[in-house]
Amino acid sequence: MRIWRNKKRLSSEIDMNRIPVHIAIIMDGNGRWAGLRGMPRAVGHRAGVEALREAVKTCDALGVKYLTVYAFSTENWKRPQSEIGILMSLLKEYVRKELDELHANDVQVRVLGNVEQLPQDVREAVLLACERTKENSGLIFNLAVNYGGRAEIIQAVKSIVKDVQTGKIDADTINEDTFENYLYTNGCPEPELLIRTSGEMRISNFLLWQAAYSELVVVNECWPDFNEKSLIEIVRIFQNRDRRFGGIKKEEE
Ligand code: IPE
Ligand code: IPE
Ligand code: MG
């Protein structure tokens, strides 16, 4: 099994001591990438899988601790059945083919989203990857599949209501930390950096709670063109951002 290169300085332009702990990516533009080349959308989705492989490796090499990728949204069920079928089979194929390599590289796979609604074979493949890698201590790789930020919040509220009703928690003690424990991302820090490819300036129901203070970087390239260089350039942009969290800069105080 191929073991990825050791962590090393990938670029002189970025500060390896200030790499975001959690990067989230809206992998968008597969369809347009294919369309521009006169090819069917499926070809774009297949090329997108290759870009995902590279992104995982680059994050691992950079020492990113959490990578969350948006692979299929709760709204993507609106697409034609044929495209949904392609996306589902690519997801299954990706997870099955990559599992040994991810595991050998100490990656821990997790899934965010309602897996119950996935086709059985896809659900089984994804859950197997999570189960097999659950003790791994390297990169935590969150696959957002059948994920919606609103759905995530609603399921959290329902679980909280149940726990209040059964006396497990006291309604008066609920705060932001309690709420976070009920999200799919329970235990993950918020993403400092949220990337979207293909130029769309919207969040499309991704990590609505968690991205409250994420730095957003939108790049024009479509997802299949995204590579190591793209990610490093974005980390450089991130490192030049002034993150204030509602406060003011130290020197202005
Ligand atoms: C991203 O590419 C993949 C998914 C949403 C599953 P798209 O399929 O959205 O491609 P565009 O945005 O139509 O180009
Ligand atoms: C967001 O992309 C979902 C994923 C990348 C999985 P979409 O292509 O579905 O988003 P919209 O429709 O452009 O908002
Ligand atoms: Mg899209």
Q: Ligand 2 pocket by C-beta < 6 Å: which residues?
A: 26-28, 70-73, 76, 200, 202, 204
Ligand 1 atom with the smallest distance to the CA of 87 is 6
Asked if residue 53 is part of any domain, the answer here is yes
In this structure, the residue with its CA closest to atom 8 of ligand 2 is 28
The whole-number pLDDT of residue 3 equals: 85
76 pLDDT more than 80: yes
Confidence class for position 252, pLDDT limits 50, 70, 90 = confident
Asked if residue 171 is part of any domain, the answer here is no
253 pLDDT more than 90: no
pLDDT tens for each residue of 101-149? 999 999 999 999 999 999 999 999 999 999 999 999 999 999 999 999 9
Cα of 56 to ligand 1 centre, how many Å?
Answer: 19
Cα of 148 to ligand 2 centre, how many Å?
Answer: 11
Identity at 206, one-letter amino acid code: F
Q: Considering its fold, how many domains does the chain have in total?
A: 1
Asked if residue 204 is part of any domain, the answer here is yes
* pTM given for the model: 0.97
Cα of 97 to ligand 2 centre, how many Å?
Answer: 25
7 pLDDT more than 70: no
Cα of 38 to ligand 2 centre, how many Å?
Answer: 21
Asked if residue 217 is part of any domain, the answer here is yes
Three-class DSSP category at 111: strand
Q: How many CA atoms lie within 13 A of 53 on its CB side?
A: 18
| Active site amino acids | 28, 76
Q: Which domain holds residue 47?
A: 22-148+192-239
Asked if residue 9 is part of any domain, the answer here is no
The whole-number pLDDT of residue 45 equals: 98
pLDDT tens for each residue of 16-47? 999 999 999 999 999 999 999 999 999 999 99
Judged by its nearest atom, the ligand closest to the C-alpha of residue 196 is 2
Q: How far apart are the first and last CA of the chain?
A: 54
Asked if residue 180 is part of any domain, the answer here is no
pLDDT tens for each residue of 161-182? 999 999 999 999 999 999 999 9
Residue 167: exposure state from Cβ atoms within 10 A (0-12, 13-18, ≥19): exposed
Asked if residue 218 is part of any domain, the answer here is yes
Q: For position 94, which CATH number holds?
A: 3.40.1180.10
**What gap in Å lies between CA 203 and CA 201, rounded to an integer?**
7
Asked if residue 16 is part of any domain, the answer here is no
pLDDT tens for each residue of 187-203? 999 999 999 999 999 99
For 19, 154, 208, the CA distances from 22, given in Å and listed in that order, are: 9, 24, 15
From 198, 206, 225, give the residue whose CB has the most ligand 1 atoms within 8 Å, as the site to mutate.
Answer: 198
Identify the DSSP state of 238: H
CA dihedral 160, 165, 170, 176 (to 10 degrees): 10
